Structure 1
Amino acid sequence: MAARKRVVGAVRGRAETIADRWVQLQVQQAAPGTGVRESELREEADALVAALVDGLGSALPVDRIVNAHAGLNRAVTELSLRRARGGESPTATSLAVLALKEALLEAVQESTQDNGDLFSAALLINRLLDAAGALSFDTYVEGREEIIRRQSRQLLGLSTPVVRLWRQVLGVPLIGTLDTARTQVVMENLLQAVQDQEATVAIIDITGVPTVDTAVAHHLMQTVNAVRLMGADCIISGIRPPIAQTVAQLGIDLSTIMTRATLADALSEAIRLTAGSVVRSDAPASR
């Protein structure tokens, strides 16, 4: 308890100096051309040191301050997430938090020269900042994983575009492997486009899909059935001879699905299917 009071007194009376020293230490350890701007470091330092003072002044046990004190937990978490979004490494982020140890120990050393007091204060600061470093690392990793997941979803969306080929006709050109995750994105994007564009025909072109196995065929049939539930016809184009042979050998039944060898053939069929509705929509209103 005495060590905690000593640390609290040292930090509270030298908060601005500690923040300045922490910023200086981070600038010194940052690799050339990398790191956060000094102005941002100062904002982080002010917020974290203030939260640290509040946390130490609370009744929480030292081992629980970082995780249980809302202000300190938020300051460490926001720092880590900001570094994750900025592309800093998790090691550099944790070291930045741990650099606060040196700034705190220097402040305590200015308030007492007793070796026993300094040792007790150092143990307390180590326990506190080790917990902060662990929280920083965990938060950083979770933040980066979320960024990666979001980028993966964005890439999936970009790799499965839905384009308007003709009036009431949509096309989905697929390139590469078609797995469960990508099929789900295709289905969601296509169904939304069918609704938004009031499409009556959707063409899924698999010319760029290298192989079609049982799983791929199952995914395609699921997508076709979903499009049909929206009231639109669905055509699979790009059935090349090797794919046709593979489908036949695997015994996959695509008889319920409209297929065409090329995208041009599929578009011609789509125009034929929509001819009646186009004529009706273009006809002048009767008087």
Structure 2
Amino acid sequence: MTTTDTKTNLARMIADNERAILASWVTAFASTDTRISTQEVESQARQLLQALGHATASGNVSDIRRSDYGDVRDLLAGFSRSRAIQGFSPTETATFVLSLKQALFEHIRQDRPEDIAANTWTLSQLVDQLGLFTIEMFQKTREELIARQREEIEELSTPVVKLWDGIVALPLIGALDSARTQVVMQNLLEAIVQTGAEIAILDITGVPTVDTLVAQHLLKTVSAARLMGADCIISGIRPQIAQTIVQLGVQLNVISKATLADAFALALQRTNRTVVRIKHNGNAKAPGVESSEMAT
């Protein structure tokens, strides 16, 4: 039997037995996954089966990456993408396509005995290719989702806080690498422009370790802020980190403070402000109760 005969027989088999193949396919898949409604499964299966029938009538059964299988690939890509977003596993996603084998094999048995082996092998290879393509699309979507989520987490983990007029703070949490440093730098520079900040405090209390590479990233951020007209103060340097920086021989060339409060106090001083404690008289406050106010 030639390849053309196999294509013709497969296309004819799908066209003549579409309803029966579809029912068997939906039943086989429904027994393995109950999270998807029968109506949705049937709709997706019908579209894919019809596209497969058109592709096998004019395309090469041995290579689903040919142009004839464009509609089939588009349907599988959309299906894989939706399953990845919904949180399905790769196995659950591929099972939808692989369960088509059983439905097709039931009709292959009706072929001539001399054709059964050839058609079975051809169909097995075809469905396996469809399954592998589905996994590839699923994995690609998952990687895109993970990359987007990582970017969102980096954005959320590098907020720039306006502490006072002309003073902003950037608390850093987690490790600093080249990609995250770029996000940190961009957020800080945008905040400096928007707020007209004169001083930016980089708080590294949440940074687990500071090595030569992390120090270089910090210095790049400081240099960029200075180019925008804002001076920088680094806070949150713990004793262990201070010892590490000294041992590495790293020259930060920037004023540092142990705590964010100390850095904020210095920033206030540099902007000609101070915090004073005053006593309230009258009914607003009980005698002896004090509060803080900002003096400029």
Normalised by the size of structure 1, how large is the TM-score? 0.84
Tell me, in whole angstroms, the C-alpha distance in 1 between the residues paired with 2:107 and 2:194.
63
Higher relative contact order (CA 8 A, sep 6+): 1
Higher helix share: 1
Kindly report which structure 2 residues correspond to 1:260-271, keeping only aligned pairs within 5 A, or say none. 260-271=257-268
- 1:66–1:51 Cα change, 3 Å: farther
Q: 2:242 aligns with which of 241, 244, 248?
A: 244
Deviation at 1:107, TM superposition (A): 4.1
Residue equivalent to 1:101: 101
* Secondary structure of residue in 1 paired with 2:63: helix
What are the ranges of 5 or more consecutive residues in structure 2 without an aligned counterpart? Answer: 274-296
Deviations 1:209-267 (A, max 9, x none): 23322122111001111122222222111233333333223221122x23222211221
Task: String of CA shifts for 1:174-200, please: whole Å, max 9, x gaps.
Answer: 233333333232222222332333333
The answer to whether the 8 A contact 2:52-2:72 is kept is: yes
Work out which of the residue numbers 21, 28, 31 in structure 1 matches 2:31. 28
Question: Residue 62 of structure 1 aligns to a residue in which SS?
Answer: coil
TM-superposed deviation, 1:16: 3.7
- SS of the equivalent of 2:81 reads helix
Q: Does 1:214 align with 2:204?
A: no
Q: Which runs of 5+ in 1 are unaligned?
A: 277-287
Residue in structure 2 matching 1:185, options 167, 173, 183? 183
Contact 2:166 2:198 in 1 (8 A): yes
Larger of the two Rg values belongs to structure: 2
User: Which of 180, 193, 196 does residue 194 from structure 2 map onto?
Assistant: 196
Q: Does 1:8 align with 2:6?
A: no
1:86-165 superposed matches below 5 A: 86-109=86-109, 112-165=110-163
Amino acid at match of 1:84: A
How far residue 125 of structure 1 moved from its aligned partner, in angstroms, is 1.5
Q: Which amino acid aligns with 1:216?
A: V
The AA in structure 2 aligned to 1:99 is S
Give yes or no for contact 1:238–1:260 (8 Å, CA) kept in 2.
yes
- Alpha-carbon distance in 2 for matches of 1:21, 1:183: 55
Contact 2:10 2:53 in 1 (8 A): no
Q: 2:294: which partner in 1? A: none
Q: Is the 8 A contact 1:180 1:219 kept in 2?
A: yes
- Residues 200, 40 of structure 1: alpha-carbon distance in 2 compared, 3 angstrom cutoff: farther
Task: Tell me the amino acid that sits aligned with residue 267 of structure 1.
Answer: F
Match for 1:10: what amino acid? M
The Cα offsets for residues 101-120 of structure 1, whole Å up to 9 and x where unpaired, read as: 122233455xx452223333
In the superposition, relative to structure 1, how do residues 20 and 213 fare at CA in structure 2: closer, same or farther (>3 Å)?
A: same
Question: Cα RMSD (Å) of the superposition?
Answer: 2.3
- Residue type matched to 1:201 in 2? I
Q: 8 Å contact 1:11–1:107 — kept in the other structure?
A: no
Is the Cα–Cα contact under 8 Å of residues 205 and 236 in structure 1 kept in the other structure? Answer: yes
Distance (Å, rounded) in 2 between the aligned partners of 1:198 and 1:40: 55
Tell me, what secondary structure is at the counterpart of 1:39? helix
Question: Cα–Cα, structure 1 residues 13 and 273, in superposed 2: closer, same or farther, change >3 Å?
Answer: farther
Distance 1:254 1:3, change over 3 A: closer
Describe the superposition over 1:76-110 as per-residue Cα deviations: whole angstroms up to 9, x where unpaired.
2222222222222212222221111122233455x
Alignment: residue pair count: 269
